[in-house]
Amino acid sequence: MPPVPTPLLEQVRFLLCDADGNLFPSEEPAFDASVEVTNAFLASIGSDRRFTAPELRLAATGLNFRSTAQRLAAEAGVPDVDVEPWVQEEKRAVTEHLGRTLRPHAATSAALETMAAHLELAAVSSSALARLAACFTATDLDELIPPARRFSAEDSLPTPTSKPDPAVYLHACEQLGIRPEEGLAVEDSLPGAQSAVAAGCPTIGNLLFVAPEERADRAAALEAAGVLAVVSSWQEIADLLLARRDDDVLATGAAR
């Protein structure tokens, strides 16, 4: 992992964590549920196009269902179709499925707990708050990142949007009372990294839950988007941040 510039680490006050595919391995099970709704939506607008769950994941990772449905409708020649009933159905199906299937990830929880002793943690996601609630409860992360520190591009903004729009990161920073450069974003997807970087947040790419065969391409895409470093675990992030703080403590002690 290349070194991250020291001045950036010194000013970080919050760790801004993308959720799906980053805090927990929710991408694959989410698309298992989402693909059924997506294909039903496509049938309803007269499109012959159909997806498998892996195909949909590759096409839509980092985007919310509204953005995906609107794009698919435009590609099918019906850009004015009302996608809202399908957005609600997809939200219901995916939230229910994730609540049943996700489990805690011990190594991630341990690293987050270590960092939470030194930094505030928040979640910044394209997903709906109801979906996030189900995921955080299923993975035992409710206490580390409570509802008041979860921000959704779907539900927290006056007008719903999706990454790579930087609006959700800018909103999160405003609500948390920090400048974007004081929030270190951690993202696994290209749209997520583009969102954080455009907002002015220093960003780290995390490949922990990315499929092994996709990691090289994903790392290259994240680096091209402007992330400071690409890691393979939350522990690497903890080591990076806490090493910086340990150095600061030693320097302060030596100066006394």
Q: Which residues of 49-76 are buried (b: 16+ CB within 10 A; e: fewer)?
A: eebebeebbeebbbbbbbbbbbebbeeb
So what's the pLDDT on residue 63?
86
Residue from 183, 164, 161 nearest 172 by CA: 183
Q: Is residue 1 part of a domain?
A: no
Quick count: other Cβ atoms within 10 Å of Cβ 40?
12
Q: Domain end: 44, 79, 101, which one?
A: 101
Tell me: do 85 and 159 sit in the same domain: no
CA–centroid distance for 40 within its chain: 26
Full pLDDT tens readout for the chain, 256 residues: 556 656 566 789 999 999 999 999 999 999 999 999 999 999 999 999 999 999 999 999 888 999 999 999 999 999 999 999 999 999 999 999 999 999 999 999 999 999 999 999 999 999 999 999 999 999 999 999 999 999 999 999 999 999 999 999 999 999 999 999 999 999 999 999 999 999 999 999 999 999 999 999 999 999 999 999 999 999 999 998 887 654 443 333 444 3
So what's the pLDDT on residue 86?
98
Angle, alpha carbons 19-20-25 (nearest 5°): 115
Residue 228: CATH number of its domain: 3.40.50.1000
So what's the pLDDT on residue 113?
97
So what's the pLDDT on residue 2?
55
Tell me: do 193 and 117 sit in the same domain: yes
Rounded to the nearest 10 degrees, the angle between the axes of helix 84-101 and helix 65-75 is 130
163 neighbors 61 (Cβ within 8 angstroms): no
**145: domain range?**
6-25+104-255
Tell me: do 96 and 161 sit in the same domain: no
Tell me: do 123 and 74 sit in the same domain: no
So what's the pLDDT on residue 242?
84
Q: What are phi and psi of 236, to 5 degrees?
A: -60, -40
115 neighbors 144 (Cβ within 8 angstroms): no
So what's the pLDDT on residue 5?
59
Q: How far is residue 120's CA from residue 173's CA, in Å, rounded to a whole number?
A: 12
